[in-house]
Amino acid sequence: MDYVAIIGAGVSGLTCGVVFAERGYRTAIFAKETGQQTTSGAAGALWFPYDAEPAERVIPWALETYKALVDLSREARAGVSMIELRQFSRAGEIEIPDWAIPLGAQAVIPSPSTSPRAGSAQRSLESFKSGFSLRVPLMDTTIYLDYLANRFVAAGGSIAANVQFKQLEGVDRKFDLVINCAGIGARELVQDLDLEPHRGQVAVVPSIEDFSCAIVCDDVPLMYAIPRRNDCVFGGTNDISSDLA
């Protein structure tokens, strides 16, 4: 097996590309969108096993990814850093996941500041009932996507943009392996009608002074605030949608 085709140029597609190209495979990525036009370009993007099943398979995969990202965080140009994540609940006691305990997760008791200098974000902590914190990798996709793309091309890979396959059979038969990283595009690509789109909305604002940890609350309404190197990402939504655009 020599030739590998990857459909999709988000973080998943580019990462697969790097893995294969750096091991000597002749690897090509085909994608409708690239760079900041991909879904990955709008991601926060924290490492955290979220909304994925079955847990007995997902968690071991996620922990392998964690180790790889920790290694990347030591490489300044990668756009990966370690950040404190504070996960809260408004509804009641939040349980620390078993997988998070070996990573150093600790319970956090929300305690809003009474200082007149405290910002509204600090004072709003009173709406949370419980929480936990741990350090996790943060991928600044304004940097990380370009890092992966450059690393892939440097290893001999190629990226073809503005390419959309209607079905896998449209891929040139010279490729011995085709890897599907099309995201929601796989619904049509491989006729996987179990895939459903979720609408997500974020707001990207200039960086905020003294805001150094990520805050996430999964209770309805979902909210998160994630500081990055040059800006902050606020969200969000996770609504089932019929819009495949």
Q: What's the pLDDT at 185?
A: 87
Label residue 21 exposed, middle or buried (CB < 10 Å: 0-12, 13-18, 19+).
buried
Higher pLDDT, 216 or 115: 216
Q: What's the pLDDT at 73?
A: 97
Q: What's the pLDDT at 116?
A: 47
- Look at the block and give the residue holding tokens 């998943």: 12
What does the DSSP assignment read for 76-113?
Answer: GGG-EEEEEEEEEESSSPPPPPGGGGGGT-EEE-----
Three-class SS state of 217: strand
φ, ψ for residue 232 (rounded to 5)? -135, 145
pLDDT score of 114 more than 60: no
% of the chain exceeding 90 in pLDDT: 63
The span from the CA of 218 to the CA of 209, in Å, is: 25
* Contact status, residue 78 vs residue 146, Cβ threshold 8 Å: no
| Average confidence (pLDDT) over 92-111 | 91
pLDDT score of 121 more than 60: no
Q: Alpha helices of 82-158 — where are they, by DSSP H? A: 120-123, 141-154
Joined together, the tokens standing for residue 146 give 């370009």
Class of CATH domain 66-139+196-245: alpha beta
pLDDT score of 44 more than 90: no
Q: What's the pLDDT at 243?
A: 61
Assess whether the region 1-45+140-195 and the region 66-139+196-245 belong to the same CATH fold. Answer: no
Q: What's the pLDDT at 123?
A: 54
Determine the topology of domain 1-45+140-195 in CATH: Rossmann fold (3.40.50)
Q: Alpha helices of the chain — where are they, by DSSP H? A: 11-21, 55-72, 120-123, 141-154, 186-189
% of the chain exceeding 70 in pLDDT: 91
Domain boundaries, the chain: 1-45+140-195, 66-139+196-245
Least confident of 67-71, 88-92, 169-173, 192-196: 192-196
